[in-house]
Amino acid sequence: MPAKTLLIPTADGRADAFAAFPDSDERHPGVLLYPDAFGVRPVVEEMARELAGHGYYVLVPNIFYRHGAAPVIELPEHISAETRPAVFAQVMPLIKAHTSERALRDAEAYLGFLTGRPEVSAGPVAAVGYCMGGALAMRTAAAYPGQVAAVAAFHPSPLVTDEPDSPHQGFPEVSAQVHLGLAEGDMTPESLSELNRALDAAVVSHTCEVYPDTTHGFTMSDTDAFSPSGLRRHWDRLLPLLDRALTGR
């Protein structure tokens, strides 16, 4: 599967990004894939290649590019329960610095770059995200409803908060088809109820599931949270969503 590293011009500099796409001369629907808080790394690149194998051009930006090229921090080969606190101690300042204002400026640049690629077909794209990338995907879909036809978030960071810019406040602007794949314990029953009320009120086509026997981060095979069954369920939900929204299949 062809892949390359690209540089995306943004309002604040240039974001490095990983791109994977089918090995053909045809144009393909675009997918903007936001990684989790651990960033662009081999497991995420492999997921992008897997998705590209199903006929999509997949762009994975380094969301922390303001702090350097990926990998922004040094990661162990496997993020275990023992190493996770030390890794998060490095990641948390980057997360806190990535404000919603920065995220939306970047989203505009990412979408413009993705839709301008010669390998990407005309028409809307999808936004897919993991962990904090799930919230970024939802923010992107809300801010750019004319460009995002499908959005999926897996074990997302909080989508319902008390902050005025809580991601769920933007749901009324979303026109994309939505799938949320939550881990057990990702949300309290009260927050989950509020999330579903917000989705219902937005009158968008959506599914919201708690994946059984999973913990936060279940799609990532380089962490202790990995769940093979959770990853399979993720593909079983994601691929049909993209087919419906982007190819009409």
Tell me: the pLDDT tens digits for 120-171?
999 999 999 999 999 999 999 999 999 999 999 999 999 999 999 999 999 9
Write out the two tokens for 107.
């989203």
Nearest to 241 by CA among 131, 127, 130: 127
176-214 per-position pLDDT tens digit:
999 999 999 999 999 999 999 999 998 889 999 999 999
pLDDT tops 80 at residue 21: yes
The residues spanned by each domain of the chain are: 3-247
The edge-to-edge listing of strands for the beta sheet with 206-211 is 3-10, 13-20, 57-61, 30-34, 125-130, 148-154, 177-183, 206-211
Q: What does CATH list as the number for 3-247?
A: 3.40.50.1820
Bridge partner residues of 40 (DSSP): none
Q: Is the preceding peptide bond at 71 cis, omega within 30 degrees of 0?
A: yes
Helix and strand element counts for the chain (H, E):
6, 8
pTM over 0.85: yes
